[in-house]
Structure 1
Amino acid sequence: MVLKLYAVSDGPPSLSVRQALAQLEIPFQLIPVDYGKGEHMTEEYALMNPQKEIPVLDDDGFFLGESNAILQYICDKYKPDSNLYPRDPKIRAIVNHRLCFNLSTYYANISAYTMAPIFYDYERTEMGLKKVHMALDVFETYLKRLGTRYAAADHLTIADFQLVNTNMTLEAIGFDFSKYTRIQKWYNDFKQNYPKLWKISEDAMKEIQHFAANPPDLTHLNHPIHPARKINK
């Protein structure tokens, strides 16, 4: 049975899983989730993922949420010898660390500044900006100390997908991160070396830019945690 991926077209976690599946040449069925219509908030969707978050992988009735876990799972099951998720314990530990770092710090702080104000009733504050620069500074330090071409090794890994797509949201809002020279080079190298994979991110970036200029009305979702922006009509 072909894998099914429930995903949104502009969400960094969804993009990362799509890129891994593409790079590994694993056939899958992409099932778009309409975030604006609240398809992820339904009881039917909750049967697959009680967190009601996106993406979700369906492997013949085995449902898995959390993009990091999905990335690890598809590598382990379908392409266990791929360099995308190396078997060497130390290299894999660094990959796992970068995935955790993205989840806890990089994506957490950056998306709160780039994405949340587009869709929800959040403001871009000085404190939020400080957290973005803190995250960038730490990642710059990791790249400097490790001295590899990519985020966790001298070759592409699943960690790069998550971090690239976080970075993409900065570019989407026109945020200048050029002073972080190692991040800038790593990000541009990904674009140049993997144009087909970058196209997945680039298409999403254009959508984010559109939404930034034309904020969607999500007040009907009644999200339990994130209050929707009030759109002046």
Structure 2
Amino acid sequence: MGKIKLYMVWGSPPVNSVLMTAKALNIDIELVEVDFSKNEFLSDWFLKLNPAHTVPTLDDDGFILWDSHAILMYLVEKYGKNSVLYPEDSKTKAFINQILLFDCGTVFRCFSDCVKPLFYEGKKSMDQNKLSNLKDVYVILERILTSSKFLASDNITIADISILSTLLPSNLVLPIETNKFPKLSVWLEHMKQAEFYQAGEKALETFRIGFETVTRSFLQKKNMSKPKLYYNPVSPAVRSTLLVIAALDLDVELVTINLMAGEHLTPQFLKKNPLHTLPTLEDGDFVIFDSHAINAYLVGKYGKNDSLYPKDLQKRAVVDQRLHFDSGVLFPRMGAIVGALLRQGVKVIEKDKADLVAQAYQSLETLLEGNTYVAGNELTIADFSIVATLSSTNSALVPVASNTYPKITAWLTRMQALPYYNQANQVGVDMFKGMIQSKLA
């Protein structure tokens, strides 16, 4: 008996439903990618398999089947006897079939209507009426979930997997708002906890990259003006944003603000930012200040993916926590020393203030326990904010002793190895160090 083959393409929601179901059933499937860019789906050999030239197409030892919903039913009935995914009970099975048909005829169609014009027709935006239809789908699913935890029974079934495969990319196109769709949001989180969910992550990421690529290109064409960053590299907060800009490879107009000349206090600048702080970002008619908010915005709008500021709520919460550690602990403690030197005429680094910075180092050392970066094992905007602050304190105020803080030292070495680190951060660190040394006795 030969291995089951699945003719597929990454990024397809129907394919994703089969991948997740196969994982749930622990079925070993050979994946055969169909190259749509070369029109392989229209080739003679593929049309013999599937005259409708669609993916997924299943080949189970010579038995050919297409349409994801039919494939899901077949896989469970053959390889998952008495499985709760598609049980023998006629009433439950009828409910499952009902949801599968709802996905096929309504949910997937509404999703497809929104994105096809972007990918295949060169449209520059999504039709608002079609987005409204997709939102109506969310409303219906919210109602369905009023009476049960899952869509067709009290257990996860192939109805849930099929809808999930369509809803995951739909959520990128039209985000499911938790306050408006609380039951649907809870259901979505339950589904993400299932073991089979990981089998669909590559397909979802492939769609995400494609979707963000086409929408970003349209946005860039629509708004040809560069984002404008008001900055001065001596500021650690500014340098965190410069690191983000470099990591995203953005083309940004940099406007230097001379702090010593009071340019941040002019009426023109105060109109943009009443807090008169740097950095301040101007993106078309949109103006925002505070580096942490700016950095999150830049990744959200211009990032090729969400790795620097994850959309996953738990991962994002950890990043946010570390950002607040910078803004609420590390940066203010540095600011207390700098303020005393620059504005109060103090000529030495006061021990009590230095001790507080050292305490912050100890907290960071603990946060790095078991982690490659400050918010886990992936580089994020939290690393950029903290390294901009810490490299400043380390160079001029409170050195980081490698024997006392080995994890910080190793992390700092990793950050310094980034190809854009020197230009985006070290140049400003050297300026910061020179400024501090000029104030010390």
Find the structure with the greater CA-based Rg. Answer: 2
Q: Is the 8 A contact 2:23 2:199 kept in 1?
A: no
Counterpart Cα distance in 2 of 1:173 and 1:142: 22
The one-letter code matched in structure 1 to 2:196 is L
Per-residue deviation at 1:174? 5.8
Matched with 2:10 is 9
Counterpart Cα distance in 2 of 1:63 and 1:177: 40
The one-letter code matched in structure 1 to 2:185 is Q
In the alignment of these two chains, the number of paired residues is 213
Counterpart Cα distance in 1 of 2:172 and 2:135: 17
- 1:126-141 alignment to 2 at 5 Å? 126-141=128-143
The one-letter code matched in structure 1 to 2:16 is L
Relative distance call for 1:48 and 1:125 in structure 2 (3 A) is: same
Matched with 2:41 is 40
The one-letter code matched in structure 2 to 1:200 is A
Q: Is the 8 A contact 2:169 2:208 kept in 1?
A: no
Structure 2 runs not aligned, ≥5 long: 215-220, 222-441
Q: How well do the aligned residues superpose, as a CA RMSD in angstroms?
A: 2.0
Counterpart Cα distance in 1 of 2:6 and 2:49: 11
Q: Is the 8 A contact 2:92 2:153 kept in 1?
A: yes
Counterpart Cα distance in 2 of 1:139 and 1:164: 11
Structure 1 runs not aligned, ≥5 long: 216-231
Counterpart Cα distance in 2 of 1:67 and 1:3: 15
Report percent identity of matched pairs.
Answer: 30
**SS of equivalent residue, structure 1 residue 185:** helix
**SS of equivalent residue, structure 2 residue 55:** coil
**SS of equivalent residue, structure 1 residue 57:** strand
The one-letter code matched in structure 2 to 1:47 is K
**SS of equivalent residue, structure 2 residue 38:** coil
Q: Is the 8 A contact 2:12 2:207 kept in 1?
A: no
**SS of equivalent residue, structure 1 residue 29:** strand
Q: Is the 8 A contact 2:21 2:72 kept in 1?
A: yes
Q: Is the 8 A contact 2:111 2:166 kept in 1?
A: yes
Per-residue deviation at 1:212? 2.0
Q: Is the 8 A contact 1:6 1:33 kept in 2?
A: yes
Relative distance call for 1:173 and 1:109 in structure 2 (3 A) is: closer
Per-residue deviation at 1:205? 2.3
Greater relative contact order, per chain length (Cα 8 Å cut-off, separation 6+): 1
Counterpart Cα distance in 1 of 2:44 and 2:150: 40
Matched with 2:116 is 116
**SS of equivalent residue, structure 2 residue 10:** coil
The one-letter code matched in structure 2 to 1:131 is N
**SS of equivalent residue, structure 2 residue 151:** coil
Relative distance call for 1:133 and 1:163 in structure 2 (3 A) is: same
Per-residue deviation at 1:100? 0.3
Q: Does residue 211 of the first structure (1) align with residue 210 of the second (2)? A: yes
Runs of 4+ with deviation above 4 angstroms: none
